[in-house]
Amino acid sequence: MIEFLAAAIRIATPLALAALGGILSERAGVFAVGLEGMMLAGAFAAAIGAWATSEPIAGLLLAPLGGGVIGLAVAIVAVRFRADNMVTGLAVNVLALGLTSYLMRILASGGRPVSMRLPLLTALPIPALSDLPVIGPLLFAQPPLTYLTALGCLLMTLFLNRTQAGLTLRATGENPEAVFASGGHPARVRMLAVIACGAVAGLGGAVLTLQQVGTFTDGMTGGRGYMALAALIVGRWTPWGAAAACLVFGAAEAFELRLQSFGVPVSSYVVQMAPYLIALTVLAGLGQSSKLPAAIGQPLPSTR
């Protein structure tokens, strides 16, 4: 049981970080379809940093940069040029996939990707708390990015609900004209929000390379960005809600791993569908959402 919960938390962590980034983007009014590419670029940048210096910390510092570059591309095309958010997100996902694969190969200069064995971020047990029975090893002996995810949920909630900047960000997603009328700059807010989304989602990708897999492989995010997108919608655009949804998806995947290891005669392909089916079912069950930021996906009127 402990192992199962630990697996659920492990699988949920990258998703939850990416979803936190996505909340910034969507609450500011830009659909976060590009999460997949932002995660992938972050995972790549983290791998490069850790590989070049043999220090996982360097990877940790580079990851937001990688994701942020993809965020910048979305910000320019979707906000500045007012292109369709969704398709722009898809485009950067394709770009990130191609660019990371390409760079991995030219680093090795032989047509094959450079092989990396990265030093992993190790678990940081919190003194006293990690000695508690059951929940100690489960919650308080995690690697750093997992703590960061939990802290991120708290900080994001405070930021959105308790700060002036958070209010402006939410207003930009609901009614950009009002932000403009009160002297704000909706386009600037959206661009910053999307770039910040990329940086946070990039950290989500870094969880994969620095905390779990220890190397970078082509397209290693494998749809996690899309699952994060589904999670933030299921979680009603709130940090804790999204994190809870990620835990549910993580539990579904962990359950699938358990079934396989016990040799239960259920086809693995059907079981692997579980997270996607759950996401689809929950989305369909929630139905049309009134919570969707009102001005999401709508280009800003030109203000000159």
Partner 1 sequence: MSDAAPAADQTARLQTRRLRLRRDGLGSRIGVALLLSLLCAAALIALAGHNPLEAFLAIVQGAVGSQHQIGASLNRTTPYLLSGAGVALCFRAGIINIGAEGQIAVGGAGAAAAALALAGAPSLVAIPLALVGGALAGSLWAGLAAAIHLGRGVHEVLVTLLLNFIALLLVQQLLAGPLGQPGAGFLQSSLMPRSAWLSHLAGFDVHAGILIAVVAAAALSFVLWWTRFGFALRVSGSSRLAAAYAGFSLARLTWGAMLTAGALAGLAGGIEVLGMHRRLIEGFSLGFGFKAVTVALLGAMEPLAVVPAALFVGLLESGSLAMQRQIGVPTALITVIEGLTMLFVLAATAARR
Out of 2, 102, 115, 303, point to the residue binding partner 1 (CB under 8 A). 102
**Does residue number 142 form part of the binding site for partner 1 (CB under 8 A)?**
no
**Nearer of residues 106 and 134 to partner 1, judged by Cβ:** 106
- Quick check: 242 binds partner 1 (CB under 8 A)? no
Q: Rounded distance, CA 184 to CA 122, Å? A: 43
Q: How many Cα atoms occupy the beta-carbon half-sphere of 271 within 13 Å?
A: 17
Stretch that binds partner 1, among 11-19, 20-28, 104-112, 239-247 (CB under 8 A): 104-112
187 binds partner 1 (CB under 8 A): no
Question: Dihedral, CA atoms, 197, 191, 61, 112, nearest 10 degrees?
Answer: 80
Of residues 31-90, which lie at the interface with partner 1 (CB under 8 A)? 31, 33, 73, 76-77, 81-84, 86-88, 90
Q: How far apart are CA 212 and CA 190, in angstroms?
A: 32
Binding string, residues 7-36; x marks residues near partner 1 by CB under 8 A: ------------------------x-x---
SS3 76: helix
Alpha helices in 163-223 (DSSP H): 164-174, 176-181, 186-206
d(CA 208, CA 226): 15
The two structure tokens encoding residue 219: 């397209």
Instruction: Kindly state the number of chain residues that form the binding site for partner 1, as judged by CB under 8 A.
Output: 59
Residue placing its CB nearer to partner 1 in the complex, 60 or 278: 278
| CA–CA dist 279, 288 (Å, integer) | 15
CB of 166 to partner 1, least distance (A): 23
Stretch that binds partner 1, among 12-20, 44-52, 59-67, 224-232 (CB under 8 A): 224-232
Q: Smaller CB distance to partner 1: residue 6 or 274?
A: 274
Q: How far is the CB of 229 from partner 1 (least distance, A)?
A: 7
Binding mask 254-293 for partner 1 (x = CB under 8 A): -------------x-xx-xx--xx-xx--xxx-xxxx-x-
The least CB distance from residue 139 to partner 1, in Å, is 30
Q: Is 260 helix (H, G, I), strand (E, B) or coil?
A: helix
In sequence order, what DSSP letters do the residues of 26-48 get, joined into one string?
Answer: HHTT---TTHHHHHHHHHHHHHH
Measured CA to CA in angstroms, residue 244 lies from 7, 132, 161 at distances of 15, 23, 19
Which residues lie closer than 8 Å to 255 by C-beta, 6 or more apart? 4, 271, 274
Cα 295 from Cα 300, distance rounded (Å) = 9
Least distance CB 83 / partner 1 (angstroms):
4
Residue of 8, 96, 153, 192 that binds partner 1 (CB under 8 A): 96
Applying CB under 8 A, the residues found at the interface with partner 1 are 31, 33, 73, 76-77, 81-84, 86-88, 90-99, 101-102, 105-106, 109-111, 218, 223, 226, 229-230, 233, 267, 269-270, 272-273, 276-277, 279-280, 283-285, 287-290, 292, 294, 296-299, 301-302
